Amino acid sequence: MPILRRRGWEIPESQVTAESLMLNRRGVLAGAGALSIGGALVAPRAARAQAAALTRNPTFEAGRDLTEEKFSTTYNNFYEFNDSKNLWKEAQAFKQRPWALKVDGMVKQPRTFDLDDLLKQVQQEERIYRHRCVETWAMTVPWSGFALSQLLALVEPLGSAKYVMFETAQDKSMHGLNAPFYPWPYIEGLAIDEAANDLAFMVTGMYGKPVPPQNGGPLRIALPWKYGFKSAKSIVKMTFTDKRPSTFWEAIQSSEYGFWANVNPEVAHPRWSQAHERLLGSDERVPTKLFNGYAAFVAGLYTDRKSEKLFM
Ligand SMILES: Nc1nc2c(c(=O)[nH]1)N[C@H]1C(S)=C(S)[C@@H](COP(=O)(O)O)O[C@H]1N2
Ligand SMILES: [Mo]
């Protein structure tokens, strides 16, 4: 295990519940093995009986309190269901297994993974990330999952692949799909070097449990340095390509939602300032940071892209 350098914005371990260190479903963690960073994790006996400890990666902690689960799982953006924030009840009808992830396009090993098989081939961990929606609300969540770079290693993108595209499921439980105005399916994308960056995280859990359907279960991505709409939910397909994908929100309104969409407090949305954010739960108003505070990880991705519209 490499030594993980602690960073200034970390929060003390005591602020994270024991539950958040656990996944409570047998099998979800198969393959994670007895991985341990920073010492033993003690779980309640009952939980220990059915779960393997999931190690929290201390590199990525958030420097502010976690958002209470009851807020982050009941205030959601998931337009496939509806365009209010109140869709979590509806989303419970969305079946999360079996789940297939198809990987195609410019890769050496195109294939379709069964999600549970895929999880046996990667090392899972927990990371606390800040999340910043373009609408200015924000939250702080203990996600669990695996680095996207591990999936890249399994499928081996060709040298000619420049981008990867993510596509969300279209399920019969999603009544918002009937709204004709939207260019379904929900598509998002990253440049390959962004996808290979250590921060890009494939999420299967939240607060130590499977990520619920309203938050993009059973498989979403978390890209904490970008506005939230880049983090596609309920992913069924990844396509490697040499052409920049036309993404869902960019197709709807490119002047407001660009491809790069990196967080920047100094670049206002055409209709509102991005200087501050509102924390879900407390409603506290706090200053927004460049790259949502993750510049140390990702600023280097953009030094040769200065001519692009990087921040909106
Ligand atoms: N498929 C899909 N993915 C999506 C969205 C969506 O409407 N559909 N909304 C995005 C937006 S705008 C945000 S802020 C986050 C919200 O994630 P959360 O509901 O888990 O907070 O999901 C993103 N991913
Ligand atoms: Mo968002």
Ligand 1, atom 10: closest residue by C-alpha: 229
pTM assigned to the model: 0.86
| Cis peptide leading into residue 110 (ω within 30°) | no
The proportion of the chain whose per-residue pLDDT surpasses 70, expressed as a percent, equals 83
> What pLDDT, in 10s, does the model give residues 247-304?
999 999 999 999 999 999 999 999 999 999 999 999 999 999 999 999 999 999 999 9
> Is the confidence at residue 35, as pLDDT, over 60?
no
**Residues framing ligand 1 (Cβ under 6 A):** 76-80, 133, 168, 186, 215-216, 228-229, 231-233
Question: Selecting from 3.40.190.10, 3.40.50.970, 3.20.190.10, 3.90.420.10, what CATH number does the domain 19-303 have?
Answer: 3.90.420.10
Smallest-distance ligand from the CA of 78: 1
CA separation, residue 57 to residues 103, 123, 151 (Å): 27, 12, 18
How much distance in Å is there from the Cα of 240 to the middle of ligand 2?
Answer: 24
> What pLDDT, in 10s, does the model give residues 220-242?
999 999 999 999 999 999 999 99
What are the φ/ψ torsions at residue 130 (nearest 5 degrees)? -80, 145
How much distance in Å is there from the Cα of 76 to the middle of ligand 1?
Answer: 7
> What pLDDT, in 10s, does the model give residues 55-114?
999 999 799 999 999 999 999 999 999 999 999 999 999 999 999 999 999 999 999 999
Lowest mean pLDDT among 52-56, 66-70, 305-309: 52-56
Q: Can you read off the two tokens belonging to residue 39?
A: 């010492």
- Alpha carbon distance 139, 66 (integer Å): 7
How much distance in Å is there from the Cα of 232 to the middle of ligand 1?
Answer: 6
Question: What length is written for the chain?
Answer: 312
Q: Can you read off the two tokens belonging to residue 60?
A: 């990525």
